[in-house]
Each structure stands twice: as C-alpha cells, then as structure tokens.
C-alpha cells in the first residue's frame, strides 16, 4: 500500500473530557477544582488556564456531543482512505475506558468504539451497492512492554486470564507479536490476529472478547483499573468503481476503473498514569505501574519532541523507539493519520496534580502536526492520475464542442443563486426572531422582582449569627419547659380550688338540709301516735256525746207523750241539754276534723323530711366522692411533680452535657482551624519558596551555562558558580520534598475531615427522616449523640475547613506539577552537563563531601534533640493517662450518685417524703476516694466538697453538681493537654 501524493497538514485535535465526581470521591468529600468556561473550550484549574479544541463534561459541551463533533469526521475520513487514531489519555480512574467503551459488555452502546462500529456499518449499508467493502479488526494490548493478542483464538484460559489477571498463555510455538516497519515507514504488527468481520454483531463480539481478555486489576483509585494499553484497530478496505459509464463490459477496462483504498482506525485506550502511593499498589501491581508509567513517559517525551515548535524546527530526534507504545503510535503522532486525543480528567481536588499534568500534555499535543494522506494501492494511484487526465480532456472537449450545454449550466447556476438568496433571507428573518425570543426569555428570568425579594430575605436569614445557637436552644427549651410546668401547676391549683369550692358548697348545702331537718325535729312516730290517740279520744268522746244525745232524744220522745208541766220542764231541760250536746258534738267534730287535718299535714311533712333525708344522703355521697377526687388529683399531681423533677434533673444534666459538648466542639473547631491554618500557611510558604526557586533555577542555569561555556572570568568564579548551582539544586529538591510532604499531610487531614463530614451528613439525613442511624458504624454513635444544631455547626465548620484545604491542595499540586515538569526537562538535558572538566568535577565532589559531612553532623545533633523531646513526650503522656484515669473514677462516682438520685426520686414518687434521700447508699455520703495530687492541684478541687452533713437531698444534689463541674474542668484540662501534646508531636 502506498500513500497517495495528496497530503494535508493537520494538527492533532485535542478534546478534554471531564468526568463527574464519582462515588468514592464524593465519599471523600472532594471538591470540584476544574472550571470549564461556558461557551468556550477552555479549562481552568488553580491559576492555570488551557484552551483546547473541545471540552466535554462539567459545564462544557455534553459528553454525548463528543462522537458527532470529534469522531464522525474521522469515520468519514476512513471512507476517503485516511488513517485515523483516537487516543484516550489521562490518569488512572479518569474515565478513559468509560470514554472509549473498551470495557464493552453485553452490547453496551456508550463509549467511542461501540458508536464507531454503529456509524461504520450504517455507512457501509448505504454504500454497499456502489462500493465493495472488507473489514478486519485486531485487538492488542501492551502489558509490561509486551504486545499481546487479545483476539488470539488459540490462547487458553481466556476468562481465567481476564479475571485472575495472570499472563495469557499462548500456544507453544506461536511466535510472539513483533512490531515491524516497512520500507515506506508503515508500522505493522506481525503475528497478531486479524479477524475478518462482515456484520456489526461480529465486530461487537471481537470487542467484547478482547475486553474480557484484557488485563484489569483493582487499585485504591479504580477497582477495575486497566493495567495495559489497549489498541482496537479497524481496517477498512474498499474497492470503488470509478466511472461505470466508461465501460461496463467486464473487460480489462474494469480494473482500470477500480480504485482500491485501505485505511486504519486505531482506537487506543491507554493505561492510566499512577502514583504507587495513591493507588496503594505493591507486588505485581507495582511492577505493572512502573511499566505503565515508563510507556507513558516515553509517550510524553514523544509528545514533547513533536509538540515543541522549536524542537521540531531544529529537527530534534523523536524517541519513538523508546517504548512499544510510541513505536506503535508512530503514525498517529506526527505521521500519516488524523488523530484525536481525548484527555480524560477527574475534577476532584485530590487529583489536581495529575489533572494538571494531563492538561499540560494535552496542550502540548495540540501542536503536533500530522500528515494524513489517502491510502491507495500503487495501481489505483496510477489509475487515479489517468482518470484525472481523462476528466480534464473530457472537460476540454465539452468546452470546445458543447456551448449549448454550457448555456444550460449557466442558466441552472443563475437559478440556484436566486434560490440561495431567498433561503439566506429566510434564514436571516428566522435568526432575528430567535434573538427576540431569547431576549424576552432572559428579561423574564432576570427582572423578576420576586427573586430579588427572596434573595434579600435569604440574605437577612443568612445574616443571623449562628454562633449562640446552643444558648438560644437551651433558653428556648428551658422557657418552654417552665411555661409547661407553670401551666400544669396552675391547672392543678385551679382544679383544687374548684373542687374545694364544690366541697364547700356541698358542706353548706348539707348543713342547710340538716338544720332544716332539725326543724322537723322530734320523734315523728310518737307524734303520730299522739295524734292518733287524740283522734281516738275525740272519736270516743263524740260517740259518748252522741249516745247521750240519743238517750236524751229518746227521753224527750217519751216525755212528749206526757202533758204535765213537769214533763214539759223536763222536756225543756232535756232540749237544752240536747242543744248543748249538739253543740258539743259539733265542737268535737270540728276538733276531729282539725285533728285529721293535722294528721294529713304531719304526713306531708314526714314526706318532706324523708326527701330531705335522701338529699342529705345524696349530698354526703357527693361529698365523699369529691373528697376522693381531691385526694386522687393531689396524688396525681404529686406523682407528676416527682417525675417532673426527675425529668428536670435529667434535662439539666443534658443541658450541661450540651453546654459541655458545645464548649468541646468549639474548642475542637478552633483547634482544628488553627492547625489547618498553620498547615496551610506552612504549605503556602513552602509552595511560594518552591516557585521562587524554580524561577531562580531558570536564571541560574543560564548563568551557569555561560560560565561553563567559558564566559566566566576565572576558575574560582566558575567553582563558586558551580557550588551555588549545586546548593540551589539541592534546595529545590528539598523544597519539592517538603511541598510533597505537606501535600500528603494535607490530603490526610482533608480525608479525615471529609470522612467526618460524610458521617455527619448521613446522620443528619437519617434524623431528618426520623430514622435512627445504623448502629456500630464508625463515628455514627458520636454524631447521633450530638444535638441537631451542634451537628449543623460542625458540618458548616468542616465544609469551611475542607474548602480551605482544597484550595491549598490545588495550589501545591500546581507547583509540584511545574517542578516535576522542569525536573524532567532538566534531567533530559543532563544534570551534569555543567561540568566541563575533571577539575570541575573534583571540586564539586569535594564540596559535596563537605556538605554531606556537615549535614550528617547536624542530623546527629537533631537526633539527640529528638530523643530528649521524646522523653518529655513520654512524661506528658503518662501524666495525661493518670488524669484520664482519675476522670474515669470521678465519672463512675457521678454515675453512682445519679443512680442514687434516681432511686430516691422513684421512692419519693411512691409516697415517701420527696425531701429525703433514704435510698442513698451510705458510701455516697462519704468522702470521695483520694484524688491524685496533680489533679487536685489542677482542679483546685477538695474531696471535702462531697462530704455532706448527712442525708439531706439538696446538699447531695449540690455535691453531685459540683462533681459534674469537676468533670467539665477535667475535660477542659485534658483538651488543653491533648492540644499541647499534638503541638509537640507536630
Ligand atoms: N463520564 C463519566 N460519567 C460517569 N462515570 C464515569 C465517567 N467516566 C468515568 N466514570 C466512572 O469512573 C470510574 C473510572 O473510570 P474508568 O475505569 O473508565 O477509568 P480509566 O481512566 O480507564 O482508569 P484506568 O486507567 O485505571 O483503567 C468508573 O467507575 C466509571 O464508571
């Protein structure tokens, strides 16, 4: 195959793909440190800014647009005969495999390769009637500088190799794959499997098979990390019929009219650059990492050589042969290929240094000039030339003989131009309408008075200082409790008063009724008997008088028959007697009637008395009931009061605990902030110093080269200059080490803060859902025991610290990346090029020897100092342990006392006097066990405090409070001691 003469210069296109923060990074509380300028392909990180051809992800273009914008032109070019390469580059875990789709499984359609396959086959489907196609794929990986065939049908234990990551076993006798360069400079792989495919399914199967066979392994930074560079190559061969009109008889002319094109598309998923410390790799992983980094370093050097315009012009050697990877990518970088490099980056602040390095490489790669050409076979090339000649001749013939045709064409052009104008006008109108609509939309979004107001409101809300939160909380809580208690007491008093009043009323009514009852007085039965007897007597008297009257009437009757005067007289006497008797009877009758009347009245009053009696009974029953209720209510209230007191005690305890927790948290926040601030300042100083040293290195290396070139005045100046140069180099090295050390420490601090933040946030989420957080998880118990406000305050403080830490990390990463890059450039040039003579070397060696001797002596002195400090540290630690033990003792004592108070309260609730702590064990009123002397001194605390006079509860509670206070003071002292200890250890 020969490259056609028609070639074009084109730069490597670079797209950046920013993946989102992934689960692990979020868990570590990482911050996004990469900014993509909206509407521009520009990426900023720290103070660095880079411009690329495209930026996807984050606030750049959506990742879905990547294929259309970057890859489709390459696929189209493939059909025109141009080779192409897509290269995914970036640190481990930055998303290369995800972007390329090399981890193809179960027909997954995301990723560049699956989309390329789809596009390829749909294009072939459209063109297959005009063009004859043939497709081949190969899939290789470079693992530990060895090329391995991922499609080798004869290799054994594929799946085993994939899962256990052991080297693939090739069938004995099969020669290893070799990279060869043909006479015309085309790189080929001898011995790799090329599978001929004719359907999408077949190609997908190859990708899947190779992906499964690829070596992957788990590291701290990616649990499915690719441990090799993988290259999936699609070869597209086409046989086109050039001008079917010229001949169609199947004769030799047919061959003349055929064009054969063959182009390759390399889809490369590189292994990620990694730092062994961060990936946590050791053993085999570590070795893999070393090879990966070696390959990538070689790639970096090739990119540097090709991307530096000066070097290119100087014709500097490009070290393609330094690694198999660069050798295989020779055509893709600076050769016959259209190349797109996708720089994959993680936005996490902990990856800032690696991200910066990736962006720098990518930026350099943009300068690489390729020379892609259409790949035809020599015969086709010749035929093309002839065909072009033929076309030219035909055109000439037309120009001479076919003026009519020209006229027709001219008319057609005029018509097309008119149509074009119409379309342009329409387009213009449409655009201005679009602008109007957009303007209205923006106005609507910007000018909403509502949003302004709500912003103002938010500001007001934010301006409320949260610093006094726990106080506010306690006070609100307390006042709410006091209100509740007062209400309860008031309610109780009101009820008691009402019931007392009711009782009083009942008593009054009872008294009334009883005095009424008294009015009825006497023995009613005797009275009745007396009345009955009286009536009977009256009856008897009446009967006797009636008999008398009847006898007198009978006598009068008898006398009426006589006519003498005596009889008359007797008659008169009897008549008078009769009259008096009649009068007597009438009188008796009246008396009797009166008596009956009286009896009736008596009966009525008896009934009334009975009713009264009943009423009295009823009132008495009511009174008993009321008295019972009063008693019950009083008992209930007493019980409530007792439990309330217990609760109050508990609340006070909690209040004190909260207060203590607040103090502790504030102290912790303050201390951590100070430590962080100090660390950040130290880091900033080290970073600044490094920057200055790096700047100075540039000038000093220039001076030195001047000296080395013999521009110095004499040998002594030269010697001094070399010594200065060496000192400077060493200082740079130490400083880089210092910055890296600070960087590691800062990363650890950040990780710890992030871990705590994650726990707090999780607990907060559980609490907001009313759930209790899972037990037994690290830090969960402590976070759940915090009050919500304390938690919020801690979260905000942690976020604040994380953001400080993140900024500091990015700044350090930036300088480290700079230093690394300069160091590489420097070591490439050769560190010792400054030395031009043996004398120089000897002098410098002597100087180094002296310096080393001095340093060793200093180290020895420092060792002694450290030993002494260690002793001091030990003493402090033992003092701290003693205090801690003492604290535990006092705490136990307090617990016992609290239990005693609880028991006493419970006993008082069951009816015993609430003022006596009868159940306080004897030893509770005794003295505390003797406190260690230093602790007593520190706390100004006398054991006598708790030697109460006896079993008086108030004194007991007072003592308990004092113990609590003592614990608080203990804790503060401990905090201070721990703080000092930390300072000392730092
Ligand atoms: N654009 C993205 N959107 C969502 N998740 C992504 C994206 N890119 C990568 N990831 C996720 O990030 C993790 C690491 O991605 P991936 O394995 O592709 O990284 P890599 O650069 O190939 O790493 P290595 O070099 O170690 O093989 C994976 O879990 C992947 O799902």
CATH assignment of the domain containing 330: 3.40.850.10
Domain residues for the domain of 353 are 9-245+253-379
Does the annotation place 93 within a ligand binding site? yes
Q: Please tell me the distance between residue 333's alpha carbon and the centre of ligand 1 in angstroms.
A: 25
At residue 85, the pLDDT reads 94
**Are 279 and 147 in the same domain?**
yes
Find the mean pLDDT for residues 675-698: 80
Q: What is the pLDDT of residues 503-516, one digit of tens each?
A: 888 888 888 878 77
Tell me the best of 15, 16, 19, 270 to mutate to test the pocket of ligand 1, counting ligand atoms within 8 Å of each CB and taking the most.
19
What gap in Å lies between CA 177 and CA 454, rounded to an integer? 69
**Are 418 and 274 in the same domain?**
no
Q: What is the pLDDT of residues 404-424, one digit of tens each?
A: 666 666 666 677 777 667 776
Tell me the best of 34, 66, 98 to mutate to test the pocket of ligand 1, counting ligand atoms within 8 Å of each CB and taking the most.
98
Q: Would you say the CB of residue 271 lies under 6 angstroms from ligand 1?
A: yes
Q: Would you say the CB of residue 358 lies under 6 angstroms from ligand 1?
A: no
Q: Is there a domain that residue 307 lies in?
A: yes
Tally: H helices and E strands in the chain: 25, 20
187: exposed, middle or buried (Cβ count in 10 Å: 0-12, 13-18, 19+): middle
Closest atom of ligand 1 relative to the 344 alpha carbon: 21
DSSP 564: S
Q: Please tell me the distance between residue 262's alpha carbon and the centre of ligand 1 in angstroms.
A: 33
- Is residue 756 predicted with pLDDT exceeding 80? yes
Q: From start to end of 879-929, where are the E strands?
A: none
Q: Would you say the CB of residue 272 lies under 6 angstroms from ligand 1?
A: yes
Tell me the best of 18, 26, 222, 273 to mutate to test the pocket of ligand 1, counting ligand atoms within 8 Å of each CB and taking the most.
222
- Is residue 928 predicted with pLDDT exceeding 70? no
**Are 74 and 222 in the same domain?**
yes
Closest C-alpha to ligand 1, atom 11:
95
Confidence at 289, pLDDT banded by 50, 70, 90? low
**Are 260 and 138 in the same domain?**
yes
Q: Is there a domain that residue 842 lies in?
A: no
DSSP 194: -
At residue 452, the pLDDT reads 34
- Is residue 606 predicted with pLDDT exceeding 70? yes
**Are 349 and 397 in the same domain?**
no
**Are 95 and 19 in the same domain?**
yes
Q: What is the pLDDT of residues 898-916, one digit of tens each?
A: 777 777 767 765 655 444 4
At residue 346, the pLDDT reads 93
Find the mean pLDDT for residues 123-145: 90
Q: Please tell me the distance between residue 96's alpha carbon and the centre of ligand 1 in angstroms.
A: 6
Scan for tokens 């070591």, then name that residue.
Answer: 827
Q: With contact defined as beta carbons under 8 Å apart, do 354 and 25 qualify?
A: no
- Is residue 582 predicted with pLDDT exceeding 70? yes
Q: Would you say the CB of residue 806 lies under 6 angstroms from ligand 1?
A: no
**Are 15 and 96 in the same domain?**
yes
Q: Is there a domain that residue 66 lies in?
A: yes
CA dist list (Å): 571 to 123, 564, 566, 581, 838 = 169, 10, 8, 14, 199
Question: Residue 794's CB: how many other CB atoms inside 10 A?
Answer: 19
Q: Would you say the CB of residue 687 lies under 6 angstroms from ligand 1?
A: no
Does the annotation place 192 within a ligand binding site? no
Number of domains in the chain: 3
Closest atom of ligand 1 relative to the 271 alpha carbon: 25
Does the annotation place 235 within a ligand binding site? no
Does the annotation place 96 within a ligand binding site? yes
Q: What is the pLDDT of residues 525-540, one digit of tens each?
A: 676 777 778 778 888 8
At residue 44, the pLDDT reads 92
Q: Please tell me the distance between residue 556's alpha carbon and the centre of ligand 1 in angstroms.
A: 153
Q: Would you say the CB of residue 226 lies under 6 angstroms from ligand 1?
A: yes
**Are 364 and 419 in the same domain?**
no
Q: Would you say the CB of residue 63 lies under 6 angstroms from ligand 1?
A: yes
Q: With contact defined as beta carbons under 8 Å apart, do 743 and 810 qualify?
A: no
Q: With contact defined as beta carbons under 8 Å apart, do 296 and 323 qualify?
A: no
CA dist list (Å): 416 to 402, 427, 853 = 21, 16, 88
Q: Where is the domain boundary, 362, 379, 396?
A: 379
**Are 351 and 410 in the same domain?**
no
- Is residue 182 predicted with pLDDT exceeding 80? no
Q: Is there a domain that residue 938 lies in?
A: yes
Tell me the best of 16, 22, 225 to mutate to test the pocket of ligand 1, counting ligand atoms within 8 Å of each CB and taking the most.
22
Does the annotation place 111 within a ligand binding site? no
Q: What is the pLDDT of residues 311-356, one digit of tens each?
A: 777 777 888 888 889 999 888 888 889 999 999 999 998 889 889 9
At residue 158, the pLDDT reads 46
Q: Which of 800, 746, 760 is nearest to 350 (CA)?
A: 746
Q: What is the DSSP string of 843-875?
A: HHHHHHHHHHHHHHHHHHHHHHHHHHHHHHHHH
**Are 64 and 19 in the same domain?**
yes
Radius of gyration (C-alpha) of the chain in whole angstroms: 55
> For residue 648, what are its two tokens?
């109050």
pTM, two decimals, is 0.59
Q: Is there a domain that residue 393 lies in?
A: yes
Does the annotation place 199 within a ligand binding site? no
795 versus 412: the higher-pLDDT residue is 795
Residue 178: strand, helix, or coil? strand
Q: Would you say the CB of residue 225 lies under 6 angstroms from ligand 1?
A: yes
**Are 404 and 341 in the same domain?**
no
């Amino acid at each position: 195959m020969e490259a056609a003469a028609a070639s074009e210069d084109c730069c490597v296109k670079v797209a950046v793909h920013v993946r989102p923060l992934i689960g692990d990074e979020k868990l570590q509380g990482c911050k996004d440190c990469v900014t993509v300028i909206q509407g521009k392909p520009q990426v900023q990180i720290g103070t660095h800014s880079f411009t690329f051809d495209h930026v996807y992800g984050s606030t750049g273009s959506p990742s879905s647009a990547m294929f259309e914008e970057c890859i489709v032109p390459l696929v189209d070019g493939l059909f025109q005969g141009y080779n192409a390469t897509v290269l995914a580059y970036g640190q481990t875990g930055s998303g290369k495999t995800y972007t390329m789709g090399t981890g193809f499984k179960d027909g997954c359609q995301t990723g560049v390769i699956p989309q390329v396959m789809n596009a390829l086959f749909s294009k072939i489907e459209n063109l297959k009637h005009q063009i004859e196609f043939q497709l081949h794929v190969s899939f290789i990986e470079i693992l530990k500088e060895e090329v391995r065939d991922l499609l080798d049908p004869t290799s054994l234990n594929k799946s085993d190799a994939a899962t256990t990551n052991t080297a693939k076993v090739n069938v004995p006798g099969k020669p290893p794959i070799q990279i060869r360069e043909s006479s015309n400079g085309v790189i080929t792989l001898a011995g790799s499997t090329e599978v001929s495919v004719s359907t999408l399914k077949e190609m997908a199967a190859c990708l899947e098979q190779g992906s499964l066979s690829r070596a992957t392994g788990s590291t701290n930074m990616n649990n499915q990390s690719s441990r090799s560079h993988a290259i999936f190559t699609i070869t597209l061969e086409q046989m086109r019929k050039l001008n079917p009109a010229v001949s169609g008889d199947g004769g030799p002319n047919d061959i003349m009219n055929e064009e054969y094109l063959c182009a390759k598309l390399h889809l490369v998923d590189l292994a990620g650059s990694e730092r062994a410390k961060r990936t946590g790799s050791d053993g085999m992983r570590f070795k893999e990492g070393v090879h990966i980094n070696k390959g990538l370093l070689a790639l970096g050097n090739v990119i540097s050589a090709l991307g530096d315009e000066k070097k290119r012009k100087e014709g500097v050697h490009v070290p393609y042969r330094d690694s198999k990877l660069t050798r295989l990518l020779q055509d893709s970088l600076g050769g016959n290929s259209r190349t797109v490099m996708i720089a994959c980056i993680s936005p996490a602040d902990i990856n800032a240094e690696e991200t910066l390095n990736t962006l720098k490489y990518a930026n350099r790669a943009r300068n690489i000039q390729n020379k892609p050409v259409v790949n035809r076979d020599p015969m086709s090339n010749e035929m093309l030339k002839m065909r072009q000649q033929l076309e030219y001749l035909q055109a000439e013939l037309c120009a001479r003989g076919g003026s009519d045709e020209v006229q027709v064409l001219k008319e057609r052009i005029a018509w097309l131009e008119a149509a074009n104008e119409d379309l342009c006008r329409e387009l213009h109108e449409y655009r201005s309408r679009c602008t109007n609509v957009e303007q209205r939309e923006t106005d609507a979004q910007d000018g909403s008075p509502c949003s302004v107001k709500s912003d103002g409101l938010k500001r007001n809300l934010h301006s409320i200082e949260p610093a006094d939160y726990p106080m506010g909380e306690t006070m609100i809580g307390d006042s709410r409790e006091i209100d509740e208690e007062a209400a309860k007491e008031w309610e109780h008093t009101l009820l008691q008063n009402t019931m007392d009043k009711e009782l009083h009323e009942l008593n009054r009514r009872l008294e009334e009724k009883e005095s009424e009852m008294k009015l009825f007085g006497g023995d009613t039965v005797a009275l009745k008997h007396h009345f009955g007897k009286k009536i009977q007597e009256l009856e008897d008297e009446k009967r006797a008088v009636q008999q008398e009257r009847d006898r007198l009437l009978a006598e009068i009757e008898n006398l009426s028959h006589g006519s003498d005067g005596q009889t008359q007289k007797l008659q008169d006497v009897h008549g008078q007697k009769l009259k008096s008797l009649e009068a007597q009877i009438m009188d008796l009758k009246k008396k009797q009637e009166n008596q009956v009347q009286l009896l009736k009245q008596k009966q009525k009053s008896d009934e009334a008395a009975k009713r009264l009696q009943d009423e009295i009974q009823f009132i008495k029953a009511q009174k008993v009931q009321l008295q019972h209720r009063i008693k019950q209510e009083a008992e209930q209230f007493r019980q409530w009061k007792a439990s309330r007191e217990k609760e109050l005690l508990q609340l006070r305890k909690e209040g004190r605990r909260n207060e203590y927790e607040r103090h502790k948290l504030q102290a912790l926040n303050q201390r951590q902030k100070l430590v962080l601030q100090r660390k950040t300042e130290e880091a900033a100083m080290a970073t600044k110093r490094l920057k200055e040293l790096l700047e100075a290195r540039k000038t000093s290396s220039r001076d030195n080269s001047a000296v080395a070139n013999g521009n110095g005045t004499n040998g002594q100046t030269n010697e001094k200059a070399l010594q200065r140069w060496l000192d400077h180099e060493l200082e740079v090295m130490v400083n880089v080490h210092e910055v890296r050390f600070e960087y590691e420490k800062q990363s650890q601090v950040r990780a710890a803060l992030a871990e705590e933040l994650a726990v707090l946030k999780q607990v907060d989420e559980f609490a907001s859902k009313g759930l209790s957080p899972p037990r037994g998880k690290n830090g969960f118990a402590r976070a759940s025991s915090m009050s919500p406000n304390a938690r919020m305050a801690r979260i905000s403080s942690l976020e604040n610290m994380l953001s400080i830490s993140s900024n500091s990390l990015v700044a350090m990463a930036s300088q480290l990346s700079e230093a690394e890059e300069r160091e590489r450039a420097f070591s490439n040039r050769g560190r010792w090029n400054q030395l031009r003579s043996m004398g120089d070397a000897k002098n410098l060696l002597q100087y180094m020897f002296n310096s080393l001797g001095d340093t060793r002596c200093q180290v020895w002195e420092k060792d002694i100092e450290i030993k002494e400090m260690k002793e001091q540290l030990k003493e402090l630690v033992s003092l701290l342990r003693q205090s801690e033990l003492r604290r535990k003792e006092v705490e136990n004592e307090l617990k016992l006392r609290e239990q005693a108070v609880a028991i006493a309260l419970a006993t008082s609730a069951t009816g015993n006097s609430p003022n006596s702590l009868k159940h306080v064990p004897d030893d509770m009123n005794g003295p505390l066990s003797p406190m260690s002397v230093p602790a007593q001194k520190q706390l100004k605390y006398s054991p006598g405090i708790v030697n109460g006079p006896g079993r008086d509860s108030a004194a007991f509670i007072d003592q308990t409070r004092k113990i609590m206070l003592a614990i608080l003071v203990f804790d503060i002292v401990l905090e201070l001691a721990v703080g000092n200890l930390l300072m000392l250890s730092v």
